[in-house]
Structure 1
Amino acid sequence: MLQDALGYVQDPIVLEGLAQVGAATVLAVLVVLLSWRRGLGLESELSGAFARGFVQIVAVGLVIGGLLAVPVVWSTLILLGMVGGATWISRQRGEGLPGVTQVSFLSITVGAGLVVVTMTAAGAIEATVRSLVPVGSLVIANAMKINSLALDRLKDELRDKRNEIEVGLALGGPPRAVLARPLRTSVRASLIPVVDSLKSLGWVWIPGVMAGMILGGENPVYAALYQFVIMAMIFAAGGLTSLLTSLLMGRRVMTEAEQLRRIGDG
């Protein structure tokens, strides 16, 4: 596997890729400089995220390159590792919510896992490392983003409307009914990006999977159909993740005495 990885690194096309990375880095540096100029205080986070993303994606490329010939069972282990990373990143947006790590892990696992398993059985994803890992990671990453948005919005809703919620509970309202609005708002807010992406699909933008397939000589109509399948998977995984997160959090934010727990600042 190490020999295969070295072979990929020594491929001349890698130098071309590094040159393209350099051009993209210049644009990223421009964003960081503008952030500093405007006093946004995001320079450290932006720079760290950019550098971390580069290192991680290259490392994954090397790992996948070395695992292309291994049994498909390795895909499960790799995807579970990705779910773990997604959980760690997503939980930070919900810092202060009770049981946020467990809820995030369960929601992302169920949401993304159900979609990957179903679509593999349907033949949309080949049961190979080459197909399962890239497509599965795409589904997991988007489930993570939607989960992060749901947690972030729910935390804000519970803080901002704490008095309103406590009044409802004091008047004898059942927790499920009192929390319905904040939970519904968090789900709606988390799904806005993917819904807008579906609305603009093929009109405002042509996603990378479709563009790559067309550039690779694939039938454009099939490329369009497969791209829609990818978007549908992202929508389903994100929707399931967000709904499950809201359901589980709706229970965890309440005490046994049916009082709203104190939400930490994170």
Structure 2
Amino acid sequence: MAARLAASTLLPVNATLGAVLAVLLVTAAGVAAWARLAPDRGRGRAREIVIAGVRAAVQLAAVSALIGWVVRSLPLLFCFLVLMYAVAVRTAGRRITRNRTWWWVALPIGAGVAPVVAALLLTGLVPVKGIALIPVTGILIGGALTATVLGGRRALDELAARRGEVEAGMAIGLLDREARLEVAGPAASDALLPGLDQTRTVGLVTLPGSFVGMLLGGASPLQAGAVQLFVLVALMAVQAIAVAVVVELVARGRLHRDEPSRTLGGAEGE
């Protein structure tokens, strides 16, 4: 009975849903193009929005078709989790920098997600089953990806804009890493704000997907609230670790946009 009730409250998968999704996607792209919401004031973001929407549809269709097989086999389950991680690393890395250092973002994402997932498995809070492990790990990887991108981009942007302050810090005796941290650290900390705001306002402003999904699946409000609290707190831990590690990589010159100059490139030889 609960399953039938939950199914009846979900979005129907039909032509109407497809039409509404298409209108929303065109609206998002149109507004981005009209307002020129791009770093170069061009219309590149509109194209990215369309591509992202189409990719999401294709990828979700593929995952929906494969998920039944994946959850029944441990080897396939772990291969799927590795694929999720690899895609997140590639996406975050190329969003931060276009040079060969992009692969360093594997560290902040892995350092944030791995210990949290390991703790959940060891304590038995999350069973080694695809139906539980995939969504939980996916949420954590997605949070680490977002925090890494925001933290890395803000840190590198600030270093480029305040290069003189970094050089001044080095001139008064600070090490390269210390001088970069003084500039990059405070800026990168802004990457934690979305997660903090979501956690502070949960239940008052927003009802996140985990909470709503469990209610639709027949769980009690108490169970749904407990799961959502767990997700939000775990995300804050993952994102804090990811931002701390990506800032350290930037400060050490491991993750950068241009080849470090001789003045600021001492970290290469550390």
Classify the TM-score, shorter chain. 0.7 to 0.9
1:87, 1:144 within 8 Å by CA — same for their partners in 2? yes
Q: Say which of 247, 260, 264 aligns to 1:260.
A: 264
Say which is worse superposed, 163-172 or 45-54, in terms of deviation.
Answer: 163-172
> Would the alpha carbon gap of residues 21 and 66 (structure 1) be closer, same or farther in structure 2, given more than 3 Å must change?
farther
Q: Say whether 1:61 aligns with 2:64.
A: yes
Cα distance in 2, alignment partners of residues 188 and 239 from structure 1 = 9
Q: C-alpha distance in 2, partners of 1:176/1:252?
A: 8
Q: Which runs of 5+ in 2 are unaligned?
A: 1-9, 38-42
TM-score, normalised with respect to structure 2: 0.83
- How many Å separate the matches in 2 of 1:258 and 1:172? 17
Find the aligned partners of 2:211 and 2:201 in 1 and give their Cα distance.
14
Structure 2 match to 1:84:
86
Letter in 1 for 2:29: V
Q: In 1, are the aligned partners of 2:166 and 2:183 still within 8 Å (CA)?
A: no
8 A Cα contact 1:67 1:129, kept in partner = yes
TM-score w.r.t. the length of structure 1 is 0.84
Identity %: 25
What corresponds to 1:170 in structure 2?
171
8 Å contact kept, 1:186–1:246: no
Change (3 A) 1:258 1:195: farther
Superposed CA offset, 1:176-232 (max 9, x none): 331222232243111111011111111101111111111222121121011100111
**8 Å CA contact 2:140, 2:234 repeated in 1:** yes
Matched residues in 2 for 1:137 and 1:105: separation?
A: 15
Q: Any unmatched runs of 5+ in structure 1? A: 1-13
Q: CA deviation at 1:86?
A: 0.5
SS where residue 206 of structure 1 aligns?
A: coil
- The answer (yes or no) to whether the contact 2:156–2:250 under 8 Å persists in 1 is no
CA distance in 2: counterparts of 1:92 and 1:65, whole angstroms: 31
Which residue in 1 is equivalent to 2:35? Answer: 38
Q: Identify if the C-alpha distance between structure 1 residues 39 and 108 changes in structure 2 by more than 3 Å, giving closer, same or farther.
A: closer
1:179 alignment partner in structure 2: 180
